[in-house]
Amino acid sequence: MKEVVLECYGEACPIPLVKAQKKIEELDAGDILIVQIDHSCAMKNLPEWARKDGHNVEVDEIDDGEWEVIIEKVV
């Protein structure tokens, strides 16, 4: 089981989303992708996409205006 951190600080949407979509393709089921973002808009579309894609998603506000979206690849 791998754990990959994808740092997307300072990047506006949809860049974090596109990067996460590309990264998750490289991972195997059970791997964890942690996307670090500070863009409130990505906070909405990242979890929305990941849940629809069928992954487990958890959002963690690590600081004011900084989040980690933790995605566990399921399929």
Partner 1 sequence: MSEEVKSENKIKRSASSRTRTRKPKRSQIPIGIAVLLIVIAIGVLLTIKSVNLGIFWFIGIIFGFILQRSRFCFTAALRDPSLTGGTSLTKAVLLAFAITSIGFTAIKYGAFIKGLPIPGQGFIAPVSFGTVIGAFMFGIGMVIAGGCASGTLMRVGEGFTMLMITLLFFIVGSLLGAYNYGWWKLNVILKGEPIFLPDIFGWAGAIILQLLFIGVLYLAADKWEKRKNNIK
Minimum Å gap between C-beta 16 and partner 1 is 10
Closest CA to 48 of 27, 17, 72, 25: 17
Query: Which residues from 15-44 bind partner 1, rule CB under 8 A?
Result: 15, 17-18, 32, 34, 38-41, 43-44
Q: Is 8 a catalytic residue?
A: no
**Total residue length of the chain:** 75
Active-site residue set? 13
Binding site for partner 1 (CB under 8 A): 3, 5, 10-15, 17-18, 32, 34, 38-41, 43-45, 48-49, 52, 56-60, 62-66, 68, 70, 72
